[in-house]
Structure 1
Amino acid sequence: MRPRSGPTVEHRVLAARLRILRERAGVSLQAAARALDAHPATVRRIERAETGLDARQVRVLLDRYEVPEAEAEPIITGLGAANLPGWWHRWRDAMEPWRQEVIGLESSASLVRTWHPALIPELLRTPAYAAALDRTLYPADTGAQLNRRVELLQERQRRLEGRGAALWALVPAAALYTRVGGPEVMTEQWAMLAGAADQPHLTVQVMPLDSPPHPMTAVPPLHLLRVPAPEIGDRAILEAPGGRVDIIDEPGAVMDLRIRLDAACAAAPHPGSPLPEVR
């Protein structure tokens, strides 16, 4: 059984297929649970990818749903891969539980759109900027723990670029003036953003300080993930005040946030425009 570290997209896809097959067969949660001799909550957790996929349980469910063998066989074959831990499993000690869920989706996303109202968005941070910020955000962490957080971020950035995924960030100019670390840290971070136009997978727009209020004004950090799997819709991750993180999968709510971000990007200077001078 896969150790819990947030479900991979492979796991989410198989779990979603089981739900679709149950609904197609007209089988209720209660009836599926009776086939497993379990509580309906067990079936719900299986369909939400909240627990490992047990081969015996999956076979019982497929039989109950009268799924033809030609359709059932790929699901059974895929259980091994779906139960494997994600690559991020080795960094579990450096992550909050919600971040494991987010990285599980992010690691298969073809497009990540991101916004932060006051800081450089996470996936654009240099190691020095990230380390300086983490020392403030996690004052109880040891040096080794802080290093692990930075290592994880660098691995996320490498994997995003390595698989050809696109990152599109809207950055408020105020973030360029929010000093994180010393002047050298900020100079390096500014240079990284200035060079983003030369990176084919990066799109960076900077909202000027003198811009009027726009649709993302005062909106907490937001990340929109496009996962190219028909069983999984787009996700929105909203980092709410007080440390709460909402992972939103309701299509209408995700669309509303996308429209807000689209409108804000339309109001910002075109990607590749010169960054404001920061002294």
Structure 2
Amino acid sequence: MRARSGPTVEHRVLAVRLRLLRERAGVSLRAAAEALDAHPATVRRIERAETALDARQVAELLRCYGVGPAVAEPIMAGIGAANLPGWWHGWRDAMESWQQDVIGVESSASLVRTWHPALVPELLRTPAYADALYRSQYPQDTPARRERRVELLWERRRRMRERGADLWALFPAAALHTRVGGPQTMAGQRTALAEAMQEQHITVQVVPLDHPPHPLTGLPPLHLLRVPAPEIGDQAVLETPGVRVDVIDEPETVMAHRIRLDAASAAAPRPGTPLPP
């Protein structure tokens, strides 16, 4: 798992551009570091968006790479916006460290695809369902912090709707029989799912209890995030609850997860099929 503070997509884009410019210029990490009078690890952190962009350092790197004004000026002009904290910065008290990295990408994603093997996927949960689940997942939380977690989830959903992002969720019917909270909570969650299935930007597929195994059977929660920026490839988030969360951007690994998710979705009942009893 990456130990990062959740850079914005704007920051990630500039970081990738700096790396590509260095590689195209044939400049090594060591040579770039020497131009900054710094250690190669400093350049590596800049290129991974692990540190704020310093205008002086960026200007020196661009000079080292022989970049002309037509390319350099937009990069320099974008530094201020790239260094601004994301909207989620004010919710750090309600987040796990890995969530900052995930939400940093999710906040600009045009498509979020998600699979959960046992529960209603996070971005489709009602506040009551989420609160009941947080009680069991985070028993050490105060009521105030648990409420903040629910508010953060709702804010993520609101922002997705606001920008017209697509959500495509796949999960087994067993999730509808795993009692989270009381009967009223589960009834409310089922109603909310039925309503979500009518929304333009939401696709829901529920795998029946008697369905044969598919490529994601038995696998932990998986999410694929697509950002409409050519510098940033799809990201995969693989959860092992209570153990670790891996944020993956290696193209071949992401592709392998996408193929599994595509196959599982193709094998499931078509979108729009009514929720099973």
TM-score, normalised on structure 2?
0.97
* Residue of structure 1 equivalent to 2:49: 49
Q: Structure 1 residues 145, 241: CA separation in 2 closer, same or farther (over 3 Å shift)?
A: closer
> Is the contact between residue 205 and residue 270 of structure 1 (CA under 8 Å) also seen in structure 2?
yes
| Runs of 4+ displaced beyond 6 Å | none
Paired residue secondary structure (1:92): helix
> Matched residues in 2 for 1:100 and 1:69: separation?
34
Amino acid at match of 1:43: V
Shift of 1:196: 2.1
* Residue of structure 1 equivalent to 2:247: 247
> Is the contact between residue 5 and residue 50 of structure 2 (CA under 8 Å) also seen in structure 1?
no
Residue by residue over 1:5-46, the C-alpha shift from the partner in whole angstroms, topping out at 9 and shown as x without a partner, is 410000000000000000010000000000011100000000
> Is the contact between residue 170 and residue 204 of structure 1 (CA under 8 Å) also seen in structure 2?
yes
Matching of residues 143-158 of structure 1 within 5 Å: 143-158=143-158
> Matched residues in 2 for 1:163 and 1:229: separation?
15
> Is the contact between residue 53 and residue 83 of structure 2 (CA under 8 Å) also seen in structure 1?
yes
* Residue of structure 2 equivalent to 1:68: 68
Residue by residue over 1:73-110, the C-alpha shift from the partner in whole angstroms, topping out at 9 and shown as x without a partner, is 00000000000000000000111111000000000000
* Residue of structure 2 equivalent to 1:120: 120
> Is the contact between residue 5 and residue 86 of structure 1 (CA under 8 Å) also seen in structure 2?
no
Matching of residues 10-29 of structure 1 within 5 Å: 10-29=10-29
The RMSD of aligned alpha carbons is: 0.9
TM-score, normalised on structure 1?
0.97
* Residue of structure 2 equivalent to 1:141: 141
* Residue of structure 1 equivalent to 2:220: 220
> Matched residues in 2 for 1:42 and 1:197: separation?
47
* Residue of structure 1 equivalent to 2:6: 6
Amino acid at match of 1:243: V
Residue by residue over 1:139-179, the C-alpha shift from the partner in whole angstroms, topping out at 9 and shown as x without a partner, is 00100000000000000000011100000000110000000
Stretches of structure 2 that go unaligned for 5 or more consecutive residues are none
Of stretches 4-13 and 245-254 in structure 1, the one that deviates more from structure 2 is 4-13
Paired residue secondary structure (1:266): helix
> Is the contact between residue 129 and residue 185 of structure 1 (CA under 8 Å) also seen in structure 2?
yes
Amino acid at match of 1:101: D
Amino acid at match of 1:175: A
Paired residue secondary structure (2:17): helix
Paired residue secondary structure (1:198): coil
Paired residue secondary structure (2:197): helix
* Residue of structure 2 equivalent to 1:88: 88
Amino acid at match of 1:52: A
* Residue of structure 2 equivalent to 1:234: 234
> Matched residues in 2 for 1:238 and 1:199: separation?
26
* Residue of structure 2 equivalent to 1:258: 258
* Residue of structure 2 equivalent to 1:102: 102
> Matched residues in 2 for 1:191 and 1:32: separation?
57
Shift of 1:243: 2.5
> Matched residues in 2 for 1:92 and 1:242: separation?
19
> Matched residues in 2 for 1:38 and 1:148: separation?
41
Residue by residue over 1:210-235, the C-alpha shift from the partner in whole angstroms, topping out at 9 and shown as x without a partner, is 00111000110000001110000000
* Residue of structure 2 equivalent to 1:188: 188
> Matched residues in 1 for 2:73 and 2:38: separation?
24
Amino acid at match of 2:69: E
Shift of 1:245: 0.7
> Is the contact between residue 5 and residue 89 of structure 1 (CA under 8 Å) also seen in structure 2?
no
Amino acid at match of 2:258: R
- The alignment covers a number of residue pairs equal to 274
* Residue of structure 2 equivalent to 1:169: 169
Shift of 1:242: 3.8
Shift of 1:198: 1.4
Shift of 1:54: 0.5
> Matched residues in 2 for 1:274 and 1:18: separation?
49
Shift of 1:241: 4.6
Identity %: 74
> Is the contact between residue 5 and residue 85 of structure 1 (CA under 8 Å) also seen in structure 2?
no
Paired residue secondary structure (1:167): strand
Stretches of structure 1 that go unaligned for 5 or more consecutive residues are none
Shift of 1:70: 1.5
* Residue of structure 1 equivalent to 2:33: 33
